């Protein structure tokens, strides 16, 4: 074995990365002339790259994951202790951390009782889709198999998850897709389809879902899959009354309500789960990312006991849920998730998310007052977006290249912010903020100060 494989020498690591690593969501042509970014250390909200530059991370690991912040030794120790004793056993058997975390998790989710473990958000959503399809075959003669999803929502990278993907640039070039997934309109009040606002828009946006159900045939619809707050599609908080009406519609037509909490779950919005902001009672909830704050891979598909019971009979040798996720049997995930949840409780990070979320929205409001380019701000908890426009009256979006120039300027200042990019044709114009739930006012001030300077430099 080459001795270099044990080296942390920066020059070697950069060249090895350049030669062999295929980065996510990245065009690699620029890496022929510039160095790929290598992150080597993290503490709290800050990370350091291989060149020693410090950054404040306003997007929790780049993809909204490290909810409790970097450098949590107690999580690392819990994982090390667990995997030394028992690292893995396939999900046909149970493990101590799997049992313990399922009990802790469902305690935070009244009305939901069963936890199916997997290893990514995409996979958790695949499990939910398969459950819906199998229920259709077992109980509805195979007819009630269509799954509704919403424009701008995102549910993962697999072909079935992309089939339920409401971001057309994410989907481009990956078809043909799985049949039976039907799109419903978005619920972004700022870009209301008919200029209605408030509760009136909430009613109309929900009615648009019912219109699709009626057009497709209610007896063909098995589930409605929605994010509680649309994440990568622009941080869309549904208008007042929307969720109440959506739940009514699902009950009216015997449609399972599947809420994708991959981003919003585990305190991001100031409650344990985003759906709890709206008084909704889902049938299926999927989650990943913040479940273990990135310290180990884990995702969960959580269902009501009523859904679980639909698979609990021995009248047919195919009646049970015939699915397995290999790394759903890895004990590192639930071991990390237990400590992650304890930290959120002990440090009242739900309360901090809500309080600091108000401070963040206050900062963004001040920026909106200063910069004519900010057309709308929206969010809940430490989860916020600022939509950039050329003109507030027309709401014409700024060009994506300007959005990304602002992100790059912030990066040069040592602040990592997110943005909708290469996702929504014509609407990649929203800056995204989701710092770890430990964020302080000073952290948030540094983040928005960098955005202030970047907007000034890029847009004037």
Average pLDDT on 17-46 reads 94
Q: How many CB atoms lie within 10 A of CB 266?
A: 30
pLDDT of residue 8: 87
pTM exceeds 0.75, yes or no = yes
Q: Is the pLDDT of residue 350 over 50?
A: yes
pLDDT digits (tens, 9 = 90+) for 165-186: 999 999 999 999 999 999 999 9
**Confidence at residue 141, expressed as pLDDT on a 0 to 100 scale:** 95
Q: What is the mean pLDDT of residues 273-295?
A: 98
Q: Kindly list the domain boundaries of the chain, sorted by start residue.
A: 37-66+349-459, 74-346
Write down the CATH number for the domain with range 37-66+349-459: 3.90.1150.10
What percent of the chain has a predicted confidence (pLDDT) above 70? Answer: 99
Q: What is the pLDDT of residue 323?
A: 95
CB half-sphere exposure, 72, CA atoms < 13 A: 27
pLDDT at 22 over 80: yes
- Tens of pLDDT, residues 194-241: 999 999 999 999 999 999 999 999 999 999 999 999 999 999 999 999
Element (H, E) at 302: strand 299-303
pLDDT at residue number 316: 85
Residue 1's pLDDT band (cuts 50, 70, 90): very low
Output the pLDDT for position 315. 81
For residues 312 and 60, the model is more confident at 60
Count of alpha carbons within 13 Å of 11, Cβ hemisphere only? 0
Contacts of 309 (CB under 8 A, 6+ apart): none
Indicate whether 2 pLDDT > 70: no
What digits encode the pLDDT tens for the residues 55-98?
A: 999 999 999 999 999 999 999 999 999 999 999 999 999 999 99
CA distance 297 to 331: 10
- Closest C-alpha among 156, 214, 205 to residue 182: 214
**Nearest Cα residue to 123 out of 333, 343, 433, 423:** 333
CATH 3.30.497.10 fits 74-346, yes or no: no
What local confidence, expressed as pLDDT, does residue 6 receive?
67
* pLDDT tens readout for residues 409-421: 999 999 999 999 9
The pLDDT of residue 163 is above 60 = yes
Q: Which helix (H) or strand (E) holds 77?
A: helix 73-85
């Amino acid at each position: 074995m080459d001795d270099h494989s044990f080296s942390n020498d920066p020059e070697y690591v950069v060249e090895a990365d350049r030669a062999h690593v295929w980065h996510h969501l990245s065009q690699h042509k620029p890496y022929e002339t510039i160095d790929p970014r290598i992150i080597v250390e993290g503490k709290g909200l800050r990370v350091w790259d291989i060149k020693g530059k410090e950054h404040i991370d306003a997007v929790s690991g780049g993809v909204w994951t490290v909810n409790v912040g970097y450098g949590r030794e107690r999580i690392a120790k819990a994982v090390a202790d667990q995997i030394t004793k028992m690292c893995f056993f396939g999900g046909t058997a149970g493990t101590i951390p799997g049992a313990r975390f399922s009990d802790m998790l469902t305690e935070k989710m009244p009305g939901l009782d069963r936890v199916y473990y997997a290893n990514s958000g995409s996979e958790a959503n695949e499990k939910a889709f398969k459950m819906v399809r199998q229920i259709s075959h077992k109980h509805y003669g195979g007819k009630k198999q269509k799954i509704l999803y919403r424009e701008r929502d995102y549910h993962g990278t697999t072909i079935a998850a992309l089939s339920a993907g409401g971001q057309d640039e994410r989907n481009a070039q990956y078809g043909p897709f799985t049949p039976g997934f039907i799109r419903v309109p978005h619920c972004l009040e700022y870009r209301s389809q008919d200029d209605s606002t408030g509760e009136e828009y909430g009613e109309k946006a929900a009615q648009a879902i019912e219109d699709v159900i009626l057009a497709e045939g209610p007896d063909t619809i098995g589930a409605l899959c929605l994010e509680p707050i649309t994440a990568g599609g622009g941080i869309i908080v549904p208008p007042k009354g929307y969720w109440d009406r959506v739940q009514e519609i699902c009950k009216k037509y015997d449609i399972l309500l599947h809420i994708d909490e991959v981003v919003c779950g585990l305190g991001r919005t100031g409650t344990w789960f985003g759906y709890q902001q709206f008084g909704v009672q889902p049938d299926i909830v999927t989650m990943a990312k913040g479940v273990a704050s990135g310290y180990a891979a884990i995702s969960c598909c959580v269902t009501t006991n009523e859904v679980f019971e639909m698979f609990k009979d021995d009248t047919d040798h195919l009646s049970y849920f015939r699915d397995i996720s290999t790394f759903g049997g890895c004990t590192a995930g639930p071991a990390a998730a237990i400590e992650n949840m304890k930290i959120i409780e002990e440090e009242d990070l739900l309360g901090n998310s809500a309080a600091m979320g108000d401070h963040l929205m206050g900062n963004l409001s001040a920026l909106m007052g200063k910069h004519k380019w900010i057309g709308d701000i929206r969010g809940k908890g430490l989860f916020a977006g600022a939509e950039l426009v050329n003109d507030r009256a027309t709401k014409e979006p700024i060009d994506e290249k300007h959005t990304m120039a602002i992100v790059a300027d912030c990066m040069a200042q040592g602040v990592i912010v997110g943005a909708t990019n290469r996702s929504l044709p014509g609407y990649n114009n929203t800056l995204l903020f989701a710092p770890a739930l430990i964020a302080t006012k000073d952290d948030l001030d540094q983040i928005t100060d960098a955005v202030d300077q970047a907007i000034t430099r890029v847009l004037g």
